[in-house]
Structures are given as structure tokens and as C-alpha cells.
Amino acid sequence: MSAITDPPKGGFQLSQLIYDTRYRSMTIQIVALVLFLVGVGWLLNNAAQNLAALGKPLGFGFLGEAAGYDINQKLIEYNNQMSHGRAALVGVMNTLLVAVLGCALATVLGVTIGVLRLSNNWIVARIMTFYIEALRNVPVLLWIVLLMAIFIESFPQPKDFRGDDAVATLKIFESVAFTNRGFYIPKPDMFAGSMFVVFVFLASIVGMFFFRSWSRKRQEATGEILPNFWISLGILIIPALLVYFVLGRPIGLEYPELKGFNFKGGIYMRNSLIALTLALALYTAAFIAENVRAGIMAISKGQSEAAFALGLRPSRTMNLVILPQALRVIIPPLISQYLNLTKNSSLAIAVGYMDVTGTLGGITLNQTGREMECLLILMAIYLAISLTISTVMNWYNESVKLRER
């Protein structure tokens, strides 16, 4: 009597890459990637040969040459004798400044407007609806130019701040001045021991996040709600404030002062920066508000009714029940709005704000004649910024995603 055994399994065959469903999708992706890389390589090689034939071989040595132009708004040290690479870095930082400030302001405004549009107050809901429809149906470039025109035409000149006339009311507490040339605010003046205060403040920020995480876990375990806002505010301010006074106030303020025909000292923010950031934030907030409204409406009304039946106030219901569930609907389109705001910052050239498009993609490109190199670097910069934003937001999306038991 003979035993029946399974037939021996055959080895791997190349035909499985096409006919076996376990390998077919990977094969198609690899082939597509190879074809794409070959196509890009052919285009770049063709462009390099054409540039060499024109006497402009592909190279990036121009980044080390002297720029020869000034930049009106800068976060790091720069003068016209520095290199084009330094000018490009200043432009990148100016772009990131607008992106960070614009995304933060647009998020606050968008969430607030989106929630208020669902208000039971008819007037408030209609006002928010009008804001959304008016802002998002007009091109953002027009809003940028309009705000710039308002700042130039409506705000006084620096010389008008002399005397005790009514215009002087635009100078707040003798330290902040709003003019048609820009805004002037106090500048921190760092002395010995100031870095220790900064270190304590940064540590307080980390401690605040640890406390809120611990408080949330404690609430889930016990149901007891702590006054998180006031405790977090105390953790954030009190340690740094104590160290500040113990060390003898090592951080001071340099106030802007009117000298001659303009203000000197303090931090100078050009009206182009304010107009660009504010316009992008207001415009993007209208789209974020619709994302928030859609996320809230995606949650069943039974959730709110159950929370009200348990005695939760409307604000608690929104913060603890509705918004946490709505985030899974809000965050994916929110990422696109952040990316759009960052890329729309390239419109800064319309109001004279020198971002990376104005420096590397504008003056540097025209002065050096290196169109291909400048555009390749510019695209790589925007690609890197966009991928960074997308990665961070996708990580946050995973961290707040609802977990099924």
C-alpha cells in the first residue's frame, strides 16, 4: 500500500511576474518607475546638451557669486555683497514665514467660522455664509492687492506721528506703530542669562503638552475633568516668569522711535508681508471653514443629543464629542489647504514681497541667465516644503484617527 504525497512545488519562474497576482502589481509599478526615470533622464540630458550648444552648460556655480541686490524683508543677516545662494536662503525663509503664519491664522479663523456657520443664531450664520462665499469666489490675488492698497492709502505716513493729533492714536502704548510703510513692534533685547529664560520657556511648552496628555488619559480613566486651560497657562508662563525676575530681567525690549522721516529700532514688518499673510489666511480660512462644517455635519445628531442628555454643555459637547470625531473628515482636505496656501505665497511678487520666487526665481534668474538651474532649484524647494507639510499632517492624522476596539 503506497502513501499519497503532495506533488513537489516548482521553483520561481519569470512568467509569474506577469501571470501571478502576487507579483503582478509590483512588476507593473517597477516598470512604470523605470520608464518614468528614463523619461526624466532623457529630458534632462536633452536640456543639458541644448544648453551646452548655446554656450550655457548646466551648472550651479552661480550660487556662489555676489548677488548685487538688496532684500527688503529678511530674517537673517544679508547684504548685496553676499552670494545668490544666501539670497535664495533668505527668500526661502521669507516663504516659510508667510506659510507658517498664514496656516496658523487660517486654521484659527477657519475652525471658528466653520463652527459659527452652524450656529442657531440666524444673523451669525448668515454673516459667516456671506464671508465664505465672498472670500472663496474672488481670486486670492485680488485680495492681496486690495489689502496692500488699503494699507498704503489708509494708514498714515511716519511723519504724521509727530505731535498730539488724532493720527497718533495709531501708535499703541507708545511701542507699536501702524504706518503706510509697514508695522513697527518692539524687538527683544537679549542680555546675559537670557538664554536660560528661553530654555525654561521651551521646557514649559514641553511640560504643558505632557500635562495635557496626562490629563486626557486621567479623564478617560476616571471621568474627572481638570481645568486644563488655566493649568496649562500656568505651566507655560509661571516658571519662565519666575526665572526672568530671579535673574534680574535679562530680556528687555527695544522700542521703535521716530527719527527723521521714519521709525528706527524694533522689528519692522513691511506692509507687503502683512497684506500677503492676511490675504492668504482670510482666503484659505473660507475653505477650511467649509471643511470644518462638512466634518461636523458628518457626525450623527444622536451624538449631540446623547451628550446633552448626560448634562454636557454645548461647548463641552463640541470639544469632547463632535470635533474629535469630525477630525477624520476635516484633516485630509485641510492638508490640501495648507499646501495651497504655501504655493499661493508665490504671488508675493505682486506686492513686492521678496520670497523665494522673487529672489531665486526672479532677480537671480534674470541677472545670471540660468533659467533651467533656477527653476529646477525652485521646484525642488517647493516640493520639499510640500512633502514636509504633507508628512507632518499625515502623521497627525494617524495620531488622532479613531481606533476601533
Mean pLDDT score, 31-49? 88
Residue 105, pLDDT > 90, answer: yes
Residue 7 pLDDT grade (very low, low, confident, very high; cuts 50, 70, 90):
very low
In-domain check, residue 167: no
Residue 263, pLDDT > 70, answer: yes
Q: Are 180 and 155 in contact (CB under 8 A)?
A: yes
Q: Quick one: DSSP state of residue 348?
A: G
Comparing 12 with 206, the larger pLDDT belongs to 206
Residue 402, pLDDT > 70, answer: no
Please tell me the least confidently modeled range out of 4-18, 53-67, 307-321, 386-400: 4-18
Please tell me the least confidently modeled range out of 32-41, 270-279, 325-334: 325-334
pLDDT score at 10: 57
In-domain check, residue 355: yes
Rounded to the nearest integer, the mean pLDDT of the chain is 84
| CATH number, domain containing residue 274 | 1.10.3720.10
In-domain check, residue 264: no
Residue 241, pLDDT > 70, answer: yes
Residue 121, pLDDT > 50, answer: yes
Helices H / strands E in the chain, number of each: 14, 8
Q: Quick one: DSSP state of residue 183?
A: E
In-domain check, residue 101: yes
Mean pLDDT score, 181-189? 83
Residue 194 pLDDT grade (very low, low, confident, very high; cuts 50, 70, 90):
confident
Comparing 319 with 209, the larger pLDDT belongs to 209
Residue 129 pLDDT grade (very low, low, confident, very high; cuts 50, 70, 90):
very high
Kindly state the helix (H) or strand (E) to which residue 314 belongs, with its residue range.
helix 314-317
Structural domain including 280 reads 84-152+270-400
- With CA atoms as reference, report the closest residue to 106 among 288, 261, 229, 230: 288
Alpha-carbon gap, residue 239 to 234, rounded angstroms: 8
pTM of the model: 0.81
DSSP line for 129-157? HHHHHHHHTS-HHHHHHHHHHHHHHHSPP
Count other C-beta atoms under 10 Å from residue 395's C-beta.
9
- With CA atoms as reference, report the closest residue to 185 among 277, 267, 272: 267
In-domain check, residue 319: yes
Residue 46, pLDDT > 90, answer: no
In-domain check, residue 349: yes
- With CA atoms as reference, report the closest residue to 374 among 15, 63, 101, 146: 63
pLDDT score at 9: 54
Mean pLDDT score, 11-29? 75
pLDDT score at 308: 81
Enter the C-alpha cell of residue 68: 548685487
pLDDT score at 371: 84
pLDDT score at 259: 77
Percent of the chain with pLDDT strictly greater than 90: 27
In-domain check, residue 59: no
pLDDT score at 173: 54
Comparing 227 with 241, the larger pLDDT belongs to 241
In-domain check, residue 346: yes
Residue 107, pLDDT > 90, answer: yes
Mean pLDDT score, 218-245? 84
Q: What domain count does the chain have?
A: 1
SS (H, E, C) 213-227: HHHHHHHHHHCCCCC
Residue 155, pLDDT > 80, answer: yes
Mean pLDDT score, 106-125? 90
Please tell me the least confidently modeled range out of 191-200, 251-260, 283-292, 379-388: 251-260
Percent of the chain with pLDDT strictly greater than 70: 92
Comparing 139 with 264, the larger pLDDT belongs to 139
